[in-house]
Amino acid sequence: MSGKTRNGTPNAAERGMKRKGQKNTPRRTRLLAVAAVALGGAVVIGGVWWAHGSLRQISYLEVREIRVRGNVHLKTTEILSRLRLRPPVNILQLNLEEVAGRITTHPWVLSASIQRQPPLSLIITVEERRPVALLSVGKTYLLSADAVILEEVRTRPGQALPLLRAAWRAEARAGEHLDDRRLLGGLELLELLQEAPLLKQTPVEEVTAEADGNYILRLAGNRTILRIGPEPLAQLHRLSLALAHREARLESFAYADLRFPGRVILKPPEKGG
């Protein structure tokens, strides 16, 4: 049966098929275009991945130089040994945060960061802890403000540091955090006393933490001794008032006991002593 009428014009069925073919052609074109874009994207991503993977293996990306900044007490070799890097080291393969974390395991290191510097260098910046006292517990150690026991010392350092002593048998090791609350209280007391106007001219030379939570303070350069309880701010305030009432300086007394609520015991030096 012919698809045309007697006069040669297309019949209805032929016209419908033609219209259907016209509608499908743009759709197929769009699908082919999307497929081509997707394929191209996959090729690009694959190329980037391959290139990155290849770069990570290229030998001329090995670290050539490591520089350390900010270290005063620590030798550069001590810091480098903490990195635990075995050459050759590809500069793109390093997890900088993880490697910096290895440095902070050293008791002297408060913080550390590492940066890549073109072309093939690493810059390590460290912030060291600052010793604020000597800790005497059988052996003598440098102690930081955040209560880290830095290292053992056999002779007193050149800088004047107060001594924090335990009146009982105590033990400590370098690299540990001080955890005894009585010694921690003594460290906090030393920090407080540095800001106390009363002791600006005559700093504290030694603090002895007693087992009952009280403290014995010895002032530098003279024989004055203070005994302080667990509430040092209120006690130092009472001492200031007592000295003002007597119009005297703390250094003119051999002994001051501040442990008793509402009163201050002051003892003048012995005659001839």
Domain boundaries, the chain: 10-57, 61-128, 131-267
| Residue 71, pLDDT score | 95
| Residue 2, pLDDT score | 47
Low-confidence ranges of the chain (pLDDT < 70): 1-60, 157-159, 222, 272-273
Give the pair of three-digit tokens for residue 168: 């009982």
| Residue 89, pLDDT score | 87
| 121-128 and 65-69 beta bridge pairing | parallel
Going by C-alpha positions, the residue among 154, 166, 266, 253 that lies closest to residue 206 is 166
Q: Report pTM.
A: 0.72
CATH topology of domain 61-128: Ubiquitin-like (UB roll) (3.10.20)
What gap in Å lies between CA 151 and CA 161, rounded to an integer? Answer: 14
DSSP secondary structure string, the chain? --SB-TTS-B-HHHHHHHHHHHHHHHHHHHHHHHHHHHHHHHHHHHHHHHHHHHHHH-GGGB--EEEEES-SSS-HHHHHHHH---SS-BTTT--HHHHHHHHTTSTTEEEEEEEEETTTEEEEEEEE--EEEEEEESEEEEEETT-BEEEE-SS--SS---EEEESS-----TTPBP--HHHHHHHHHHHHHHT-GGGSSS-EEEEEE-TTS-EEEEETTS--EEEE-S-HHHHHHHHHHHHHHHT--GGG-SEEE--STT--EEEPPPTT-
Q: What is the CATH number of domain 131-267?
A: 3.40.50.11690
Could you tell me if 245 and 258 are in contact, meaning their C-beta atoms sit under 8 angstroms apart?
no
